[in-house]
Amino acid sequence: MSIMEYNGGSVIAMVGKNCVAIASDLRLGVQSLGIASNFQKIFPVTDRIFVGLPGLATDVTTLHEQFRYRVNMYTIKEEREIEPETFAALVSSTLYERRFGPYFIEPVIAGMQRTPSGSYKPFIAATDLIGCLNFAKDFVVAGTASDKLFGVAEGLWEEDLGPEDLFETISQTMLNAVDRDTNSGWGVVVHLLTKDKVITRTLKGRMD
Partner 1 sequence: MDISFALTGKGYVIVAADTTAAHSIIKVKLDEDKIKTLSPHLLMAYTGEPGDTVQFAEYIERNIRLYQIRNIYALRPPSAASWIRRSLADSLRSRKPYSVNLLLGGYDTSTHTPHLYWIDYLGTLASVPFAAHGYGSYFALSLLDRYHDPEASLEEGLATLRRCIDEVSKRLIVSPGKYKVKVVDKDGVRELDF
C-alpha distances (whole Å) from 86 to each of 15, 143, 146, 173 are 18, 23, 25, 28
Nearer Cβ to partner 1 (15/53): 53
By CB under 8 A, the residues from 42 to 71 that bind partner 1 are: 56-58, 61-62, 65
Q: At residue 195, what are phi and psi to the nearest 5 degrees?
A: -65, -30
Q: How far is the CB of 59 from partner 1 (least distance, A)?
A: 8
1 binds partner 1 (CB under 8 A): no
30 binds partner 1 (CB under 8 A): yes
Nearer Cβ to partner 1 (39/167): 39
Among 17, 36, 47, 138, binds partner 1 (CB under 8 A): 36
Binding mask 89-118 for partner 1 (x = CB under 8 A): ------------x-----------------
- Over 58-118, what HEC string results? HHHHHHHHHHHHHHHHHHHHHCCCCCHHHHHHHHHHHHHCCCCCCCCECCEEEEEEECCCC
Distance of alpha carbon 87 from alpha carbon 111, whole angstroms:
10
User: If binding means CB under 8 A, how many residues of this protein chain bind partner 1?
Assistant: 16
Distance of alpha carbon 110 from alpha carbon 123, whole angstroms:
6
Interacting residue ranges for partner 1, rule: CB under 8 A:
7, 28, 30, 33-36, 38-39, 56-58, 61-62, 65, 101
